[in-house]
Amino acid sequence: MHRQRLLLVLAAVAAVTSAPALARAQSIESSTPERISSQGMDLGQTTRTEGQNPLGISYADCAADLTLRFSVQLTGFSGQSLQVWASLGSPCVDPQDRGLESGNAVCWALEPSMVPTQSPTTVNVRVQDLVGWQSTSPLPTGVPAPTKGSEACTAQPGYALVPMAINFLVVDGSGNPVGVSYQYTIQTDMVGPPAPVVCETVGDTIYNLTWAPNSDSDTVGYGIYIDPIPGQEPDAGRGGDAGTIVVCPGGDAGDAGDAGCSTLPIGVMPPDGGSCGSSVSDVTCNDPNLMGSILPTPSDDGGSVTPMTSDDGGDGGVEGGVEEGSGGISTVSTVFLYKPSTDASNMTVVDKSTSSYQFSGLVDYVTYTVVVSAVDGMGNVGPPSAEVCDYPAPVQDFWQVYEADGGGRGGYCALGVGGPSLAGLAGILVVVGVVRRRRRRR
């Protein structure tokens, strides 16, 4: 009798202690994935330049239809199936998260069920299938989810990066996980930062830009685009056929002749006097070479951000505060990118805190149109800013303007003071003022 009780106790202890060991023995391990491409990109090759995040997923990765290849090692499994599920953070272990029970699923299947082996198994995860379902509700519950195409590359609703989890599960016939699952977390960002609000001033052969840095913490620099490309300007000079500017009342866009708009040849207006918002700064700029961006698809919950707008097509919004859009991907050709920092870079300025830039050595009286795009750590180039257009020219001082308005020539002679220095003139005006004040007191 005592012997039978002892055997029962030993059997119970063995069952309790062997269960965790069995669970630990049934495990999934994987190495860091390699990127491969259906277009034949070399193994491990990335679309980003040195200094940018090499391990995330960018818009370029998605557009190129890249694939992540995992080498998965399975241990201790027999008769179960390997499944791969994606989520915004869930381990996908709970059947409800995978849509197997009531409630909204938060995971989507990336691969069909595979029979696990004890040797390394290669698992391919298409980037488009991974990122394409992030804004969908309800999620598909089939295994695998339907294949995604290029539309997946605009599924991210905002410009903030999105961490995603790739979960490797071994499940039994009822869909319940067996053993220890494996999760790989990857940063995804397919939306460039919002466009900066840009202001410009000009001088003799120079063109100055200022902008308010945007709020995307992942910004690493700015790309500055200019048309015409310096060194490829049309014939310059007053009276030359160097282009025209469309001027509209209040800065409203329109064709020449509509709503009071008029077309003026280059050189008919004086250059900026140094303040953003001058008559030249307020013209409507319509350069098709510097327009265009791909915007993200708004999320189903209506959480998209209102795009940036500007009534004057250029400088508006600076004085009234920074108004930001939801970001996107610029489609402006890199042909117009001014002095990229490296041959493969999309940036002119490699510093997120920089908020100004100066072109020098330009051709006076040639109108240049400029836009600025912010670039994030994944290499995404955000949408271009509203265009600013202006032409550099020798800055006119007070006496040049006075003379052009009909004043006399010869310095201060027209005022009858014979041409003393500006300081001397100021002294005379002060003395006159003092004399008048004394006379009033008497």
What was the pLDDT predicted at 10? 36
* pLDDT score of 424: 42
Length of the chain in residues, anyone?
442
If asked whether residues 149 and 229 sit together in one domain, one would say no
Q: Is residue 278 located within the same domain as residue 380? A: yes
3-state secondary structure of 84: strand
177 shares its domain with 205: no
Give yes or no: residues 195 and 316 share one domain: yes
Mean pLDDT over the full length of the chain: 73
Torsion of CA 41, 43, 49, 52, to 10 degrees: 130
If asked whether residues 212 and 174 sit together in one domain, one would say no
pLDDT for 182 beyond 80: yes
On whether both 284 and 202 belong to a single domain, the answer is yes
Q: Provide mean pLDDT across the span 147-162.
A: 93
**% of the chain beyond a pLDDT of 70:** 61
Mean pLDDT of 101-114: 88
Q: Rounded mean pLDDT of 281-295? A: 82
Residue showing tokens 């020098």:
360
Asked whether the beta carbons of 188 and 56 are under 8 A apart, the reply is yes
Among 188, 204, 225, identify where a domain stops.
Answer: 188
**299 or 143, higher pLDDT:** 143
Are 129 and 223 members of one domain? no
**Does the residue 15 lie in any domain?**
no
| Pick from 376, 353, 309: nearest CA to 160 | 376
The residue ranking higher by pLDDT, 242 or 350, is 350
Sign of CA dihedral 39, 43, 44, 50: negative
pLDDT for position 425: 38
Token digits of residue 238? 């007053």
Domain assignment present for 13: no
- 209 and 170 fall within a common domain: no
Report the DSSP beta bridge partners of residue 329: 294
Range in 80-84, 111-115, 144-148, 364-368 with the lowest mean pLDDT: 111-115
In a domain, 6, yes or no: no
Q: What is the mean pLDDT of residues 301-315?
A: 32
132 occurs within a structural domain: yes
pLDDT at 403: 56
- 180 and 215 belong to one structural domain: no
Minimal CA–CA distance to 218: which of 191, 197, 186? Answer: 191
Query: Domain tally for the chain?
Result: 3
In a domain, 265, yes or no: yes
Encoded tokens for 231: 């060194």
Are both 203 and 348 inside the same structural domain? yes
pLDDT confidence bin for 51, thresholds 50/70/90: low
Distances (CA, A) of 295 to 27, 60, 149, 326: 42, 14, 17, 8
Same domain membership, residue 225 and residue 203: yes
DSSP type of residue 337? B
How confident is the model at residue 120, as a pLDDT? Answer: 82
Q: What's residue 63's pLDDT? A: 93
pLDDT, residue 302, reads 31
Tokens of 60: 């370029």
Cα–Cα distance, 334 to 360 (Å, whole number): 20
Q: What pLDDT digit, counting tens, does each position of 2-49 carry?
A: 444 444 433 433 333 333 444 446 778 887 787 776 554 454 455 566
DSSP assignment string, 426-442: HHHHHHHHHHHHHHHH-
Position 35 scores a pLDDT of 74
Cα separation, 59 vs 49, whole angstroms: 14
Do the domain assignments include residue 337?
yes
* Nearest partner of 284 among 210, 387, 190, 372, judged by Cα: 387
Which whole number is the average pLDDT over 153-164? Answer: 93
Express each pLDDT in 264-284 by its tens digit: 555 545 454 445 654 454 556
Does a structural domain hold residue 14?
no
pLDDT of residue 127: 94
Looking at the structure, tell me whether residues 381 and 413 fall in a common domain: no
Supply the DSSP symbol for 132: T
pLDDT one-digit tens code per residue, 193-245: 999 999 999 999 999 999 987 777 889 999 999 999 999 988 644 433 445 55
By residue range, what is the domain housing residue 242?
A: 191-396
- Confidence (pLDDT) at 149: 95
**More confident call, 78 vs 159:** 159
Higher pLDDT, 355 or 257: 355
